[in-house]
Chain A
Amino acid sequence: MAENVWIVGIHMTKFGKHPELDTLDLGAQAARGALADAGLRMRDVGVLAAGNLMNAAAGFGQQLQKQIGQTGIPVFNVANACATGATALRVAIMAVRAGETDTGLAVGVEKLSGAGLLAGGRRVAGGDTWAPQGRFGAVAALDGRIGTETMPGVFAQIGMEYDHKYGGADFELFARISEKNHAHSTLNPLASYQKRFTLEQIMGDVMIAYPNTRPMCSANCDGGAAAVVVSESKLRTLPLEQQRRAVKISASVLTSDPWQEACQVLPDVNTLTRHAAEQAYEQAGVGPDDLDLVELHDCFATAELVHYDNLKLCPPGGAVDLFNSGATWRDGSIPVNVSGGLESKGHPVSATGIANIWEVATHLRGEAGDRQIAGAQVGLAHVIGLGSACAVHILEKAAA
C-alpha cells in the first residue's frame, strides 16, 4: 500500500484583472506562495507539474523555473482543458505516491481577462468552390449550422437534458443557482466578483445561451494557484506546525469519457464525473454524507445542477429537490461553492483545478475567515475539462 500524500503548502492568487502581471508573474506568485506556505524551497522539490492552456506548447514549466529556481528536476507540462490544474496536481501526487520523490509542486495559471468566447467556430470566407474537409466532409463551418460549439450553449443543453430526463428545472431554477454562488462570493476577498445579484438582475441580464445569462456563465479572469505535496514520511520530518496544518489527500482520481451513445453529439459530462466520484469515495472510504463542503465545476449555472447528481449529493434525479431544499447554500447541509464558484470567483482555466483544492483546504485548516464553514473535516473538489477530463479530490483535515 502506497503512503498517504499530503498537501503542506497551497496558494491562490487574487482572481481578476492583473494587467501588470503576465503568466509567469502569476505562476511565480502562486508557486512561491505555496512553497512559503509549506516552509520549503525549490531545492526541496523533486518534481514540477505545470499547466497553462493558452501557451500549452511553450514549455511553461521550464519558463516558470527560471522565475522561481532552476534545480534541474523533471518538469511535466500538462494540458487537459479546464482540468489542467487538477491534472498537474494529479501528476505531482502520482510521482510522490510512486516513490520517485517525496515532494512535488503543481502549478496552474491562466490569463483570460477579456477573452470572450473560448470556443465556437469563427466564420471565414470559404474558397471559391465547395470542397469537403475534415472528418465530417464539411463544405462550410458547422458552428451555428449544425448546433453550437460555444461553451455556454453546450452546457445549456446539458442542463436542459437533465430537465428532459427528470423535470423540474427551468430558467428560474438555474438563475437561482447563480444567485447562490454570487451571494457566496461576497465573503471571498480573492474572488473576481464580490457582488450580490438579485434573481431579477440575473434573469434580466444579457442572454448568452438560453437559459444561461451572462452572470450564469463562468467569469474569464486572470489567476494562478499552486500546491506542494509530500509523502507521509516526509511530512513527519517537518515542523509540528506544518504537520498540524497539513491536509490529507484521501482520494485523487482522474477519468475520461467512456463511450456513450450520445457522447459524439453532445459532450457527456455526467458519466465520467459519476465514475470519478465513485472511485474517489471508494479510495477515501467516505461517502457523500460525510462531506462538509464541495467545490464543483459550475462553469455555467446549468452545470452545477447536474453535478449535484453526478457527485451523488442527492439520489438520482434529485438535484432539483436538493437545491430547492436550500442544502447547497453555505448554511445548508452540504454547502456547494462557498468560494463563489466559477461564476463569481472566476475561471482562469488552468488555475481552477488547484484553486478549488485551495478553497477546500483553507476551510479544513480553519483559515477561511468570514466564509469559514465551521468545523469542516472533509471536503471534495471537482473539475471538468470538456472533451473530457474529470478530476475529483477528497481532502481531510489532519488528525489533531
Chain B
Amino acid sequence: MSASVPLVDYLVLGGDPHLTAHECTACGARFFDRRNACAACEGERFRQVDVPTDGELRAFTIVSFAAPGVPVPFVAGVVDCGGTSVRANVVNTPADPQHVRVGMKLRLTTVPVGRDADGVEAVGFGFEPAS
C-alpha cells in the first residue's frame, strides 16, 4: 500500500495512532508547535511525550459558517486528554447539540485528508465518542 503522512507533525501514525507534545523538562508545560523557550518558565529544553488518546470534551461549537472550501457543519472543540488540552474536531457523530455535549468521553481516531500527486495519503485526526 502507498505511503501516508500525518496532517501535522505532532500526529504519530501507525498501528497505535497518537499525539505527541514538546514537554518542558523544567516545568512540564506542553506545546504542540515548536518553541524557542518555554512560555511558562523560560526553560530551554524539551522532551517528546505521548499524549493520552482518551479524553473528555471540555468545550465545543458547531460551525455552520466558515471560509470558502471548508465543509460545514462540523464540530470543533477542546478535548482534555489526561490534563493536556487538545484542539480537535469531534467526528463520527451527528453535528448537532443532541449528540454533542460538554463532558462527553471521546477517543482519538484518524481521518483521511486526501492524496497528493504521488498517491501519498495525508491523514489527520479527530475525536469520536468513546462508547
Q: How many residues of B contact A (CB 8 A)?
A: 53
The A contact surface, by secondary structure, is: loop
Residues of A within 8 A of B32 (CB): 136, 264-265
Q: Which residue of A lies closest to B96 (CB)?
A: A210
Known: A144-B74, A157-B77. A137 touches B9 (CB 8 A): yes
What distance in Å separates the Cβ of A154 from its nearest Cβ neighbour in chain B? 8
For window 91-118 of B, CB contacts with A under 8 Å fall at 97, 102-103, 111, 113-114, 116-118
Q: Is B52 interfacial (CB-CB < 8 Å)?
A: no
Number of residue pairs A-B, CB distance < 8 angstroms = 171
Cα distance, A160 to B64, chains bound together (Å)? 16
Which stretch in A60-68, A121-129, A190-198, A371-379 binds the other chain? A121-129
Known: A123-B68, A157-B77. A138 touches B61 (CB 8 A): no
What distance in Å separates the Cβ of A242 from its nearest Cβ neighbour in chain B? 46
Q: Which residue of A lies closest to B97 (CB)?
A: A210
Q: Is B67 interfacial (CB-CB < 8 Å)?
A: yes
Known: A122-B69, A207-B64. A147 touches B117 (CB 8 A): no
Cα distance, A132 to B33, chains bound together (Å)? 13
Q: Which residue of B lies closest to A161 (CB)?
A: B59
B87 in complex: contacting residue of A128, A212, A266, CB < 8 Å = A266
Residues of A within 8 A of B39 (CB): 259, 264
Cα distance, A130 to B97, chains bound together (Å)? 35
Q: Is B13 interfacial (CB-CB < 8 Å)?
A: no
Asked whether B78 lies within 8 Å of A157 as measured between CB atoms, the reply is yes
Asked whether A262 lies within 8 Å of B85 as measured between CB atoms, the reply is yes
Residues of B within 8 A of A265 (CB): 32, 78, 85-87
Asked whether A210 lies within 8 Å of B61 as measured between CB atoms, the reply is yes
Asked whether B76 lies within 8 Å of A157 as measured between CB atoms, the reply is yes
B5 in complex: contacting residue of A130, A142, A153, CB < 8 Å = A130
A121 in complex: contacting residue of B7, B60, B67, B84, CB < 8 Å = B67
What are 25 contact pairs spanning A and B, CB under 8 A?
A122-B68, A122-B69, A127-B116, A129-B120, A132-B5, A136-B8, A136-B9, A136-B10, A137-B10, A138-B8, A139-B8, A142-B8, A144-B66, A146-B7, A154-B61, A156-B61, A157-B78, A160-B102, A209-B63, A210-B64, A261-B84, A264-B31, A265-B78, A266-B59, A266-B87
Q: Which residues of A contact B (CB under 8 A)?
A: 117, 120-124, 126-130, 132, 135-140, 142-148, 150, 152-154, 156-158, 160-161, 163-164, 171, 206-212, 259, 261-262, 264-266
| 11 more CB-based (< 8 A) A-B contacts, given A120-B66, A142-B8, A147-B78 | A117-B65, A122-B67, A135-B34, A137-B9, A144-B74, A148-B61, A150-B67, A158-B59, A160-B61, A161-B58, A212-B61
